Structure 1
C-alpha cells in the first residue's frame, strides 16, 4: 500500500507545481496586457470624452478620503510589468496616471450600456437629468412586500404589530434573489406580520449607477438609509444578507444596534482584522492568482486587473441585451433565469469599486462591527454557510464563530454559494421566520 500512496502523493505534488508554474506564466502575461490596456483606455477616454478617467495603476497620490474609506487593495495589487518599468524609471513612474478623485465626466461612460432600463435611474420626475448636483434625489430600487391586511400606523410611524425586514443581496446580484426565494414562501401568519424590503444595492440591478461615486461602504449605507430606513420611518428592523451584502449588513446593524432585532448572514466573506492587512487577506483568499479552478481564475481576472475587467464589462455588460436575446433563442425560453441576467446589471466602475471598497476594504472593520452588535445591543446574529462554497470558503464562518462565540452558526451540507439559498427557499424562509419570532 505504501508504494501506491507515495505515487499518488508524488503526482499530487507534480500537479500542484504544474498549476503554479502555469499560473505564474499566465498572470505575467495578464500583467503586461493590463498595462497596455491602461494606455489604450486612457487614449480612448480622452478622444471620446475629452478627459481620461482616473485609474489605480499608481499609488503615488492618495488623499484623506482614500485612507479612511477606500481599500488598500485598490492601490497595492502589484503588477510585474509596471513594477519593473517603475524601477527602471526611478520608482515613481508607471503606465497609470494615479488616483486623483473621480471627476464629473458625465454619468455614463462610453463603454457602459445606455439602454432605457440601465439609465432609467437618471430620470427624475420623468425627465432626463444631467446635473451631478442632484444625486441626493436618487433612491435605490426596492421590492416591497406589504402585509396583506390593511396597515394602520401609530404615532411613532411604525405600522402597528408589523415588523420590518431589510434584505441585502450579494455581488453581481439583485433584489430578485429574495423576491424569488423568500417572499413567496412566507407563511400566512408572517404575511400579516412582516413588511419586507429587498434592495438593489447602489450600482447594481435597477438602482442608480453614478460615475461620480467611489462605492465605499459608507456610500452603500447612506443609500439604504435614504431609500429605506428614513422614508419608511423605521424604528426597528431585522436584516438578512447574502455574500458581499453581509459586510454591508454588519455595518448597518452596528450603526443601528439599538434598532436591529436580528441579523442573518448567509455565506459571509469574513476576514479577521487581527491578522495583518485584512484587505489584502480578503483579496488573496477570495481571488487567488491561480488558473485552476476556473471560478477562481475568473475572480482573480476581474479583481486584480482593472483594465482587463473593463474590457469584459464592455463586451458583456454593454451588450447585455444582445446576449440575452441570443440566449433566449438558443434555449428557446421566454425568460432567462435571474441569476444570469443579474450578472450584467452593473457598470465596471460600480462593480470594481464595490468589490475592493466593500468586500476587501470592509474586512478591516468587521471585528469592530461584530463587537458593537453583540456587546453593544445584544443583537441575535445567525450565520448560515454551505460546506461546498467555492466562492467564500466555509472557513470564513468558522473564523467568525471563533471571533464572536455568541453568534449562531448553521452549516448546510452539500450547499454551495448560491444553492445555500436557491432550491431551499421554503426551508430558509421557515428558518428566518423562527428567528424573527424569537426576538419578540
Structure 2
C-alpha cells in the first residue's frame, strides 16, 4: 500500500504544479488580451477580434468553426472579460475594417521580411512539383494507370520541405519514371498565402488544394500522403473526391471518434492537455489554450526569426539550417491559431463521416505511427483501425512523431511505393 502511495507522489506534484501554472497563465492571457487591443487600436486603427468573448450572433460560417475557439475554459476570463469588454473605449471594441483576402500584407506583430511576404504576389498555394520523367505521349500510349499522381500534405508548423527532403530524395527509378508528385505548403504556412481575414477551416484548406493542384493540373485520380494535422485535411479531401482517390497514407493521424462523445473536446484534451510535464505537452497546451500568449510567442520568435536563425548559424557554424528550424516560424499567429482549432480540434467532429464515405467507396487506407509518439497518442491509430478493420496499420516501435518519417526516410519511401502499387 505504501509503495503505491509513493508512486503517486510525482503525479500529484505534476498535477499541483499544473494547476498553479495554468491559473497564472489564465491571468496573463487576459492581461495580454487587453494590451493587444490597445496596441492594435493605436497601430491599426481598431482592435482585432479575438476568441475571448462568445459570438452572440453566429454567422453561417459558425457551423464550421471549432467549439474550442470560444469554449476553452478560463475561470479568470469568465469572471472578468465581460465587464472589461463593456468598459473598453469604442476604438478598442469596434471591428477593424481592413483589406480583404490576400490584400493585407502583414500585421504589426508579424514579420515583414521579403521571405514572409512573398505570398502576397500569388493567390495559389506554394507547390513543389516533381514530374515523371517520361513523355506524356508515352504514358498515354501505355494506358491511364501507367502515370500516377501523388499529393503530399504536411502537418502543423511544417511545409512541403518535409517531403522534399525525405521522400523526393529516396524515390526508386520506377517511381521517378511513373509518378508525378505534388507537395503543397498548406494555406497559412511555408510560402503559401496567409490571409488575415480567413478562418482557416477544413473547407478553406480543401478548396485551396483543389484550386492550386487538382484543378490546374487536371488530376482525374491521385494518391494522398499526409502527416499529423495534414491527415485531417487529407481525409476531408479524399471524402470529397472519393471516386478519384486511389490510396491514402496517414502518418500519425490525430483521430478522435465522435461516437465516443465530444470529439472536439477530446482532441483538445488529448493533444493539448493542461500539464506542465512532459515539456512537449506543455508547449502544445500553451499554444492551443492561450490565444494572446501564443501571439506573444509568435511575436518573439516568428517576427524575429532572422535574428534567431543568425544565432543558430553562428553557434552551429553552419551556412544552412535544417528545414524544420525554418519551417517552425513560417506562419502568422492568426493562421496557426485558427488552423490548430478549426482543423485539428474542430475537424475531429467530421472524421467518422469521412471514413464512412471512403469505406463505402472502397478506398485503400494505410496508417503509420511511431510507437514513441508524444504528440499524437498511439491510441488514435489503434482507434482508427477499430473504426475500419480494413485499414492497414503499421506501428514503428522506436519512432516518435517526426522520426517516423525523418528517421527512416528510405524505408518509409519504399513502404509508400509498395502501397501505391
TM over 0.5, yes or no?
yes
The answer for the alignment partner of 1:24 in structure 2 is 19
For residues 304 and 99 of structure 1, what CA distance do their matches in structure 2 show?
24
* C-alpha contact (below 8 Å) 1:55/1:99 kept by paired residues: no
Structure 2 residue aligned with 1:233: 218
- Residue of structure 2 equivalent to 1:243: 228
- The answer to whether structure 1 residue 67 and structure 2 residue 57 are counterparts is no
1:414 aligns with 2:409: no
Helix, strand or coil at the partner of 1:152 = helix
The reply to whether residue 369 of structure 1 matches residue 367 of structure 2 is no
Q: Partner residue of 1:129?
A: none
Partner of 2:322: 337
Residue aligned with 2:137, SS = coil
Q: Provide the residue aligned with 1:119 in structure 2.
A: 117
* TM-score computed with the length of structure 1 as normaliser: 0.90
Structure 1 residue 374: deviation in Å? 1.3
62 and 293 in structure 1: CA distance in 2 versus 1, 3 angstrom threshold: farther
Q: Distance in 2 between matches of 1:399 and 1:173?
A: 25
4+ residue segments displaced more than 4 Å = 91-103
Question: Which residue, 85, 90, 95 being the options, matches 2:80?
Answer: 85
Could you tell me which of 408, 415, 419 is aligned with 1:431? Answer: 415
Counterparts of 1:99 and 1:420, CA distance in 2 = 47
Q: State the alpha-carbon separation in 2 of the partners of residues 194 and 286 from structure 1.
A: 35
Q: Which residue of 1 aligns with 2:172?
A: 187
How many aligned positions are there? 415
Cα RMSD, aligned residues only: 2.3
* 1:17-56 equivalence runs, <5 A: 17-56=12-51
Q: How big is the shift at 1:99?
A: 11
| CA pair 62-19 structure 1, distance change in 2 beyond 3 A | farther
If each structure's helix is expressed as a fraction of its own residues, which one has the higher value? 2
Deviation at 1:160, TM superposition (A): 7.6
Shift of 1:161: 2.6
| Cα gap change, 1:94 to 1:396, in 2 (>3 Å) | farther
Alignment of 1:286-325 (within 5 A): 286-325=271-310
- Unmatched 5+ stretches in structure 1: 1-5, 125-137
Work out the CA distance in 2 between the residues paired with 1:380 and 1:94: 56
- Matches of 1:278 and 1:94 in 2, distance apart? 36
Provide the rounded CA distance (Å) in 2 between the counterparts of 1:210 and 1:239: 26
Q: Render the CA deviation track for 1:377-432: whole Å, top value 9, x for unaligned.
A: 11100000111000000000001111111111111111100000002111111111
Deviations 1:313-360 (A, max 9, x none): 000000111100110000101111111111100000000000000000
Contact 1:386 1:414 survives alignment (8 Å):
yes
Q: Deviations over 1:6-50 (max 9, x none)?
A: 444222212111111111111111000000000000000010010
